[in-house]
Structure 1
Amino acid sequence: MSQWRLIEEGPGEAAWNMAVDEAIAESCRQGLSSPTLRLYRWTRPALTIGYFQKISRDIEETVCQTERIAVIRRMTGGRAVLHGNDLTYSVASGVHVPELPNTIRGTFLAISRGLIEGLRQLGLQAESVRSPVREIGRSPVCFMSASWYEIICNGRKIIGSAQRRWKDGMLQQGSLLFDFDPVVFYKLFRFPNQTQRERIIEESRDRIGGLYGLLLNPVDPKTVSNRIASGFEKALGVQLKPAGLTALELERAHQLTRIKYSDHTWNQNR
């Protein structure tokens, strides 16, 4: 049985969370760390945008500033995700990992199996979307579209994921929503007009869901994290060994926080 590393941390600031994920991915790609599942939360709300997104086109920056919501660019693709009322995960690995095929679709499928099993242990019957589905307009929001093997429960998307691959490894990041308020959510995004915003708000009520609205009994975030970790162990047939960052990863994460994820140029223009 393969042994992976499990990192479960307390809430972190937006720049730090993204820097840690990249530092772990670098370490895995260099063969210095085993495949890693990281489960984490946020000290305050933050909007992460996909690698190729344009803030000026998609995001209401003034609203985000007024609401004290950090806006930060991810290494992975996809579209914007609002964090703060969610459990965020990342999976990083090098190549030649038996449980993770060396393709985007194959890796999405493998990781989705772990997530679905974790949700099953929480009492939910979820399924993975096996092909791209229709999205509403050209939404800047991750949860308004479903990529390969993303997670749907009762017809609603509750986990959004994005992946970045290199020749020597990969990083996948995702968010499991705890709750979803479309009015609060969509005021952070630009739309051509208020009519389209209101239309998407209404349509999203049937497309996006939060974990707490689906569970019969309330659970705390730690229980959710434990079940997701257990789901990965069972579905992928791996042993997760709890650990922290290595000294090199910690040093690199601090460096990336300072020179990259706190830098206006990266977050605005890449």
Structure 2
Amino acid sequence: MRQKWGFLDSGIHDASVNMALDEALLNWHSEGKIPPVLRFYGWTTPSLSLGHFQKESEINFQNMKEHQCQYVRRLTGGSAVLHDDELTYSIVISEKNPDIPSSIQEAYYVLSKGIIQGYKNLGIEADYAEDLSRERSAICFERPAFYEMVADGKKLSGNAQTRKRGIILQHGSIPISINEDMLFDLFVFPNEKVKAKKRRAFAQKAAAINQLTGNKHTFKTVKQAFYEGFKKGLNLQLEPITLSKSQWDEVYQLAKTSYSTKQPTRSV
């Protein structure tokens, strides 16, 4: 039997609004105001999201200004992600949902089935990353985490999860293309030699949709592929939802007070 989830195509917003809306969805679901939700969204300008506990000393803020790149701190952990030419998704669902395992790793596995199917819809044979390095990196796409997506040994998407108020929030980046020049400019390296070495190695560790397919995909076509992917992969019936003016007002207020770049750290 298919589960009924809400589907929110929230469009393109700046970094603070995008992260505030994910938090608001978590809050509303915990209060019983909305069903489990799958959300798709994009970014008005290139944006770097920092993991909840990530050190800001790893980020080159001067270069961020030169690239006119926004930054925001996520509710979730992990390394920094450059959001640019990509589809971003988020899921909010109760920890008590009978289809969601209690284990964080197993919950990743279940919720990521939609991502696997979305890549398959684009002709990419993705699989789960299970043979992992323990080496830490400030840059998310330098290494896969447990049950993230890989194809030909390269990481495809960055995903992160947190649990608050009995609710799981999982969100992730599905790159259509990757601007490596910008990406490596946004981090601090000991010297240019190390930076160049890291960048050369990155090409062997990560890949985006356009690179793997040899085609230029649009945001619209990728969104449709993953919409169908989540429906099939998670056996869902998706019902569109819209937000009221008061809900959007709540999101904008949360963005202003908790996610502006003047307040880079965040706790819930």
TM-score (norm 1): 0.93
- Count the aligned residue pairs: 266
RMSD between superposed Cα atoms in Å: 1.7
Q: Is the CA contact 1:49–1:81 (under 8 Å) kept in the aligned structure 2?
A: yes
1:146 to partner: Cα distance: 1.3
Aligned AA (2:203): R
Aligned match for 2:229, one of 217, 228, 231: 231
1:33 to partner: Cα distance: 1.1
Determine whether 1:65 maps to 2:65.
yes
User: For residues 249 and 142 of structure 1, what CA distance do their matches in structure 2 show?
Assistant: 31
Q: Is the CA contact 1:30–1:94 (under 8 Å) kept in the aligned structure 2?
A: no
The 5 Å alignment of 1:51-130 reads 51-55=52-56, 57-130=57-130
- SS of 1:100's equivalent in the other structure is coil
Aligned match for 1:179, one of 177, 180, 199: 177
User: Could you list the per-position Cα deviations for residues 138-195 of structure 1 after superposition, in whole angstroms to 9, with x for gaps in the alignment?
Assistant: 4211111211110011221110011111251111110011112333311110112222
Determine whether 1:251 maps to 2:252.
no
- SS of 1:176's equivalent in the other structure is strand
User: For residues 266 and 252 of structure 2, what CA distance do their matches in structure 1 show?
Assistant: 22
Q: Is the CA contact 1:99–1:236 (under 8 Å) kept in the aligned structure 2?
A: no
User: Could you list the per-position Cα deviations for residues 90-148 of structure 1 after superposition, in whole angstroms to 9, with x for gaps in the alignment?
Assistant: 111123223322321122101211100011111110001135x126x542111112111
Per the alignment, residue 31 of structure 1 pairs with 32
1:216 to partner: Cα distance: 4.2
Moved over 4 A (4+): none
Pair 90,2 (structure 1): closer, same or farther in 2 beyond 3 Å: same
Aligned AA (1:94): S
The 5 Å alignment of 1:6-17 reads 6-17=7-18
Determine whether 1:222 maps to 2:223.
no
- SS of 1:11's equivalent in the other structure is strand
User: For residues 209 and 125 of structure 2, what CA distance do their matches in structure 1 show?
Assistant: 12
Aligned AA (2:133): R
Q: Is the CA contact 2:49–2:74 (under 8 Å) kept in the aligned structure 1?
A: yes
Pair 166,34 (structure 1): closer, same or farther in 2 beyond 3 Å: same
1:261 to partner: Cα distance: 0.7
**Structure 2: where are the runs of 5+ without partners?**
none
Q: Is the CA contact 2:20–2:255 (under 8 Å) kept in the aligned structure 1?
A: yes
- SS of 1:41's equivalent in the other structure is strand
